[in-house]
Structure 1
Amino acid sequence: MTTRDVVFPPNRHALYERDRYSPAVRSNGFLFVSGQVGSRENGSPEPDLRGQVRLAFQNLNAILEAAGITFDDVVDVTVFMVDPQSQFETMWEVVPEFWGAAPYPNITAVGVTWLNGFQFEIKVIAKLPEGAAG
Structure 2
Amino acid sequence: MTRRQAIFPANRHALYEEHGYSAAIRSDDLLFVSGQVGSRSDGTPEPDFSAQVELAFSNLEATLHAGGCSFDDIVDVTTFHTDPETQFPAIMEVKQRVFNQRPYPNWTAIGVNWLAGFDFEIKVIARVPSAQ
TM-score, normalised by the number of residues in structure 2: 0.92
How far apart are the structure 2 equivalents of 1:114 and 1:40? 19
Alignment partner, residue 46 of structure 1? 46
Shift of 1:4: 2.2
**Contact preservation (8 Å) 1:81, 1:120:** yes
How far apart are the structure 2 equivalents of 1:28 and 1:7? 13
Alignment partner, residue 120 of structure 1? 120
How far apart are the structure 1 equivalents of 2:88 and 2:108? 13
Alignment partner, residue 69 of structure 1? 69
Letter in 1 for 2:83: D
State which drifts further: 35-44 or 5-14. Answer: 5-14
How far apart are the structure 2 equivalents of 1:26 and 1:63? 11
How far apart are the structure 2 equivalents of 1:13 and 1:92? 25
Letter in 1 for 2:55: L
**Contact preservation (8 Å) 1:38, 1:120:** yes
Shift of 1:2: 6.6
Unaligned runs of 5+ in 2: none
Q: Percent identity?
A: 59
State which drifts further: 96-105 or 54-63. Answer: 96-105
Unaligned runs of 5+ in 1: none
- Provide the alpha-carbon RMSD of the alignment: 1.8
How far apart are the structure 2 equivalents of 1:3 and 1:13? 24
How far apart are the structure 1 equivalents of 2:100 and 2:85? 25
How many aligned residue pairs are there?
Answer: 132
SS of 1:118's equivalent in the other structure is coil
Shift of 1:40: 0.7
